[in-house]
Amino acid sequence: MTLKIAIAGCRGIPNYYGGFEKLAECLSVGLVRKGHEVTVYNSHNHPYQKKDFHGVEIVHCYDPEYRLGTAGQFIYDLNCIKDLRRKNFDVILFLGYTSNTVWGNLFPERPVIITNMDGLEWKRAKYNVVVKHFLKYAEKWAVQSSNFFIADSIVIQNYLDKKYKIHCKYIPYGSEMAQIDDKKLLAPYHVSTQEYYLLMARIEPENNVEVILDGFYRSSSKKKFLVIGNTQNSFGQRLERKFREDKRILFGGAVYDGAITHSLKYFSHLYFHGHSVGGTNPSLLEAMGSGALIAAHQNEFNHAVLQKDAYYFETANDVEYLIESVKRNEREQEMVKNNFLKIEKTYNWAAVIEQYNSFIIECYRKSRQ
């Protein structure tokens, strides 16, 4: 069966931002290879300005977020929805609900609407009380305005089932299996094999970046700590000022080159994953597929994926203890191996794309009965 599928709700492809963009990139190309006609909606100022990406049609819509901040996301989503209404799609896959479901009454009526429900957005520390309150409504609106639902985490699936009594299909994110050992890629970051700790994330409070750096700052480690992520927001700039005097802490900026990100993770002594909100996090899966030894924030989302094959922390004291105590011995090698096998068996893109393909076709057929 060949379907006309639109993917909206992200900043666009190829990925220059985060998890949904990575999903949109891999999924859209994968669905095209399965014979579908796929369109992805991109911000007008996305770095990739072509109208085709490996067979995927790209539609650029005006996105004023760069001028208006968060409010601009709502306008961008409205512009995407206006264009969606003009097209004859069979299925629309919305990635997330933060700013698009406010326009739920404008969703096209003919296509099947499938929404990936993302994480518990209203728990994110970066949002104030008013925004968190709005996001709880947005979650409810997503349920009301969608025909079918996807959760990337068993934890999210159980939450939605309990709260809204909806059947939500569990499909995780995927990752490449890429233990890249090109030491030359480390040179621009002034680190050497096994002599640095690594954090790679959006620099936001709920990712526990400050907690992790506080713990490292207190330690007596002679190793370096490399932070990969865009620090141009106010939180990131504050962290750079706070830790400026510690020459062990290096801020490397955002990196989207897969060979570099995989190599940095592979060669790190210990990779810190501080994400505390959301489902199956793509950067965590990439670390697992890169052969990194992982220390993760202690929460149900991370534990559902890593189980016993990681170290866990909650406080800066926990981080300091891990910095001072973790070695790379036989036990750690087994943890790395087990996580790599999880990617190979479960969290790989081929399996994820196949599950999305089957579910999209199933939803379309149900809607036409």
Please tell us whether the domain made up of 4-174+348-367 is placed in CATH 3.40.50.970: no
pLDDT of the residue at 126: 62
DSSP secondary structure string, 154-199?
Answer: HHHHHHHHHHH----EE----B-------GGGGGGGT--TTSEEEE
Q: What's the whole-number average pLDDT of the chain?
A: 93
Summarize the confidence of residues 274-295 as an average pLDDT. Answer: 89
**3 state DSSP class of 43:** strand
C-alpha distances (whole Å) from 101 to each of 24, 104, 112, 203 are 19, 5, 15, 26
Beta-strand relationship, 37-43 and 4-8: parallel
Is the pLDDT assigned to residue 181 strictly greater than 80?
no
Q: Say how far apart CA 82 and CA 248 lie, in whole Å.
A: 50
What ranges in 118-277 are assigned the alpha helix state H?
Answer: 129-145, 154-164, 209-218, 234-242, 258-267
Using pLDDT thresholds of 50, 70 and 90, give the confidence band for residue 182: confident
Whole-number pLDDT of residue 122: 58
State pLDDT tens for residues 100-138: 888 999 999 999 999 998 766 656 666 667 777 788 888
The widest CA-to-CA distance across the chain, in whole angstroms, is 66
Instruction: Name the least confident of 161-175, 210-224, 349-363.
Output: 161-175
Parallel, antiparallel or unpaired: strands 56-61 and 52-53: antiparallel
As a whole number of angstroms, the distance between CA 342 and CA 351 comes to: 12
Region 261-290: mean pLDDT is 91
Q: Cα 314 to the chain's mean position, in Å?
A: 21
Nearest-angstrom CA–CA distance, 38 and 32: 6
Q: If you average pLDDT over residues 225-234, what whole number do you get?
A: 95
Closest CA to 170 of 6, 306, 351, 30: 351
Q: Give the pLDDT confidence of 34-60 residue by residue, as tens digits.
A: 999 999 999 999 999 999 999 999 999
Shortest CA distance to 266 belongs to which of 243, 245, 244, 294?
A: 294
Identity (one letter) of the amino acid at 10? C
- Residues 94-109 have pLDDT tens digits of 999 888 888 999 999 9
pLDDT the model gives residue 129:
77
Tell me if the bond preceding 14 is cis, omega within 30° of 0: yes
Give span(s): CATH 3.40.50.2000, the chain.
4-174+348-367, 183-345
Instruction: Give the count of beta carbons closer than 10 Å to the beta carbon of residue 28.
Output: 26
Q: Given 3.30.70.100, 3.40.50.2000, 3.40.640.10, 3.30.390.30, which CATH number is that of 183-345?
A: 3.40.50.2000
pLDDT at 40: 98
Residue pLDDT, tens place only, 66-77? 888 878 999 999
Preceding amide of 47 cis, omega within 30: no
pTM (predicted TM-score): 0.86
Give the CB-side neighbour count of residue 294, counting CA atoms within 13 A: 32
pLDDT at 123: 60
How confident is the model over 314-340, as pLDDT tens digits?
999 999 999 999 999 999 999 999 999
